[in-house]
């Protein structure tokens, strides 16, 4: 079952790349495994993907411990409270959800010396929704300059979670704004290379507008378990 879902998602990514005249390997699949068990992750890893995204810190730490025998790449993609930065800095390879300098400084200070620099994406609130995390687009240049200067971090690019929108053209218009923000930053910070955007319902539009990482959960694992079936603490 997981193998079939994975094959379907891979084909959808490759089809979107072909439609946009992009190389299939220009888009990475990040399997969003929040609320999923370590056994499910192990089964999906056997199908091909090695990068997994988690939103809830304690749940993620339990799975990282249980799966330490596998060469997995762990991405933290949820909101970050300042008192949770140390375990994130210690255990993750990527963080997609940095939206203020205080968090970035703590991650930099708490990154273990023996680990490679922590890959960072700045989360931008592209739809300017009050309910969502992310820095405002006009605050992005100053934040990017400050984060890029910190040791122990490698600023890679931007992450966005646009407002839900069923119309593909409107999806593309929003993702295009994120791409434009990254292009503007690249004039000053040319090493930026990542657009983390697109999920199960809008990955085609995201890839058409330059996504390099798509974050896919439901299309890989199926509908999420009910909240009562999985215990976790918000990050």
Structural domains present in the chain: 2-222 (3.20.20.10)
Each residue of 19-53: b (16+ CB within 10 Å) or e?
A: eeebeeeebbbbbbbbbbbeebbebbbeeebebbb
> Which pLDDT score, from 0 to 100, does residue 61 have?
98
Position 227 pLDDT exceeds 60: no
Return the structure tokens found at 56.
Answer: 């809830």
Residues in the chain: 235
pLDDT tens by residue, 45-100? 999 999 999 999 999 999 999 999 999 999 999 999 999 999 999 999 999 999 99
> Which pLDDT score, from 0 to 100, does residue 229 have?
44
The CA distance from 201 to 13, in Å, is 12
Least confident of 150-154, 189-193, 202-206, 229-233: 229-233
Q: How confident is the model at residue 6 (pLDDT cuts 50, 70, 90)?
A: very high
Residues 192, 193, 199, 200, Cα dihedral to 10° = 180
Return the structure tokens found at 82.
Answer: 């300042």
> Which pLDDT score, from 0 to 100, does residue 31 have?
98
Rounded alpha-carbon distances, angstroms, from residue 150 to 119, 145, 192: 12, 9, 15
> Which pLDDT score, from 0 to 100, does residue 234 have?
32
Nearest-10 crossing angle of helices 101-110, 140-148:
10
Q: How confident is the model at residue 230 (pLDDT cuts 50, 70, 90)?
A: very low
Q: Phi first, then psi: give them for residue 70, nearest 5 degrees.
A: -100, 145
Percent of the chain past pLDDT 90, that is, above it, reads 91
Q: How confident is the model at residue 226 (pLDDT cuts 50, 70, 90)?
A: low
Chain CA centroid to CA 217, Å: 11
Q: How confident is the model at residue 231 (pLDDT cuts 50, 70, 90)?
A: very low
Given a contact cutoff of 8 angstroms between Cβ atoms, the answer to whether 171 and 162 are in contact is: yes
Position 188 pLDDT exceeds 50: yes
Contacts of 63 (CB under 8 A, 6+ apart): 33, 37, 38, 41, 54
pLDDT tens by residue, 25-42? 999 999 999 999 999 999
Nearest-10 crossing angle of helices 38-45, 57-66:
60
Contacts of 225 (CB under 8 A, 6+ apart): 35
In DSSP notation, 109-163 reads HHS-TTSPPEEEEEEB-TT--TTS--B-GGGHHHHHHHHHTSTTEEEEEEE--PP
Percent of the chain past pLDDT 70, that is, above it, reads 95
């Amino acid at each position: 079952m997981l193998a079939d879902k994975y094959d379907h998602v891979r084909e959808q990514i490759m089809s979107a790349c072909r439609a946009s005249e992009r190389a299939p390997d220009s888009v990475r699949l990040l399997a969003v495994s929040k609320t999923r068990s370590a056994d499910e992750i192990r089964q999906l890893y056997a199908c091909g993907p090695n990068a997994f995204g988690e939103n809830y810190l304690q749940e993620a730490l339990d799975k990282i411990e249980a799966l330490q025998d596998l060469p997995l790449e762990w991405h933290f993609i949820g909101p970050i409270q300042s008192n949770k930065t140390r375990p994130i800095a210690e255990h993750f390879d990527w963080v997609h959800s940095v939206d203020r300098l205080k968090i970035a400084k703590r991650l930099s200070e708490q990154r273990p010396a023996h680990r490679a620099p922590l890959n960072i994406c700045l989360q931008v609130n592209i739809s300017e929704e009050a309910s969502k995390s992310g820095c405002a687009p006009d605050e992005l240049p100053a934040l990017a300059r400050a984060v890029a200067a910190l040791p122990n971090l490698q600023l890679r690019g931007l992450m966005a979670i646009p407002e839900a929108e069923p119309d593909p053209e409107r999806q593309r218009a929003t993702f295009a704004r994120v791409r434009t923000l990254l292009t503007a930053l690249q004039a000053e910070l040319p090493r930026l290379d990542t657009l983390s955007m697109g999920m199960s319902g809008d990955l085609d539009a995201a890839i058409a507008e330059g996504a390099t990482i798509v974050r896919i959960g439901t299309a890989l694992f199926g509908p999420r378990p009910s909240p009562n079936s999985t215990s976790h603490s918000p990050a």
